[in-house]
Structure 1
């Protein structure tokens, strides 16, 4: 598993490793004895206990068996899987295509009331047109060499977008002005997408802000992220998806969103920037 940039992942791994060490100490055996009884090298036990190597489910079962703590293995395995899900490589999520992951996220979107979304590279998924989504997801499939199920993935993305018009949801969305200028698809696709943004702005549940190129920045452009009800944050990296749930770290993203909101323009000023981007396509 690749190292994660998220302190939440490290904290979860370290907490699991600490629990395994406590179990060993409670059993009154040394790391060398544990390794011998489990059939491992001593270095493997040390790497697991010092959070340098994530344990497998089988490793946890063996550890608990050797320490006569098999009644704790189920909880530890669950904690291990939670930590594992905080940092997931795209190649693992998308190994069978893109549509399954899109469909799996629909319940989270339906149950979330307050969305905060910041995008520095592409139009937010909830506000994408089918044509824009097709162009974007096609490029992802080509780059990551995943099975091509773009049509199904686009359909799932559009199905997920129903929350912007149905239910009790609120959307505070910020995009960098560069998002309006990046060419995803041909000029016709981009013109349709930008026109759709103007239409979405009129929805009562939506607040759309644009951070101008010329804004005096008190905070630098960040990675794309989404905050769900101030409870969890999804961060999109080139190689992986990161999920943050530790309250202190979630709070940092909420604070970052607030800072970015302070340099964004809304309403007529935002529409003017979108219109200028449309005009630039001609």
Structure 2
């Protein structure tokens, strides 16, 4: 998983420099062959500038190694995975981020997700969402536009009722016991999850405590249309688009799904948890 674009860009630059020197070329030679400024060659080799796919095709050809272009562009796709700091995104409050997700979910036909610590936003009740968003605003020191953000988050759930969409979601059982809100709010949230089971567009599974597992849960992630993965950390949102990352997270989801309870078994687990709240 690419989490340090600067380091990856520097590594790609080093590879470009290696191709140049192996071909017996100076930076000035490459600049002349490609009709570039010499400073451009330097910025690419030092990782101060991100090349375009065309740049890489031209560089490989200039070095007499056109077959290396595919590998160079694979590295570039990894660099282009986006890393967005939450503090910057939330500078004006949570509402804008939630509205962006509304649009993104509307564009998505198939979604696979896993959450380890909280009920996914796609399934949250307004009261549960309110407590989470308020706590996050306090943690990040960002504006409290909680009510507007809750409305936007709940609006995202309209996609659950749209035809030709599928949502396959897994949840670690520990999230059902985390009282991030008053007990009566959590009870309502569990009722909501119970009612989701059986919806035509939703496949909801719970990975129970004590289940045999081929892989241990680490963090939540979402796979949109098998094209990109979104990972949320405490301070950063990562968007990964390389084929390797997609394949890796797909395998993780599949292995977690093998350990999950679905259908009636998941409903019974949720019911027991709900009853324990009183």
TM over 0.5: yes
Q: How does 1:252-263 map to 2 (within 5 A)?
A: 252-263=248-259
Unaligned ranges ≥5, structure 2: 21-26, 51-75
Match of 1:242 among 234, 238, 244: 238
Question: What residue in structure 1 maps to residue 189 of structure 2?
Answer: 193
Q: How does 1:62-81 map to 2 (within 5 A)?
A: none
Q: For 2:277, what is the secondary structure of its paired residue?
A: coil
Question: What residue in structure 2 maps to residue 27 of structure 1?
Answer: 31
Whole-Å Cα distance in 1 between the matches of residues 8 and 155 of structure 2? 33
Question: What residue in structure 2 maps to residue 210 of structure 1?
Answer: 206
Whole-Å Cα distance in 2 between the matches of residues 277 and 108 of structure 1? 32
Match of 2:119 among 109, 118, 123: 123
Q: Deviations over 1:168-219 (max 9, x none)?
A: 2101110001011111210111000000001111211111111110101210
Taking a change above 3 Å as real, the CA distance of residues 9 and 227 of structure 1, as seen in their structure-2 partners, is farther
Whole-Å Cα distance in 2 between the matches of residues 102 and 17 of structure 1? 37
Normalised by the length of structure 2, the TM-score is 0.77
Match of 1:182 among 174, 178, 184: 178
| 1:226 counterpart = 2:222 | yes
Whole-Å Cα distance in 1 between the matches of residues 7 and 100 of structure 2? 26
Does the 8 Å CA contact 1:8/1:244 hold for their aligned counterparts?
A: no
Does the 8 Å CA contact 1:175/1:211 hold for their aligned counterparts?
A: yes
Does the 8 Å CA contact 2:3/2:238 hold for their aligned counterparts?
A: no
The CA deviation at 1:13 is 3.1
Q: For 2:188, what is the secondary structure of its paired residue?
A: helix
Aligned length: 240
| 1:153 counterpart = 2:153 | no
What is the RMSD of the two structures over their aligned residues, measured on CA atoms?
3.0
4+ residue segments displaced more than 6 Å: 18-22
Normalised by the length of structure 1, the TM-score is 0.76
The CA deviation at 1:89 is 0.9
Question: What residue in structure 2 maps to residue 94 of structure 1?
Answer: 90
| 1:170 counterpart = 2:162 | no
Unaligned ranges ≥5, structure 1: 39-44, 56-79
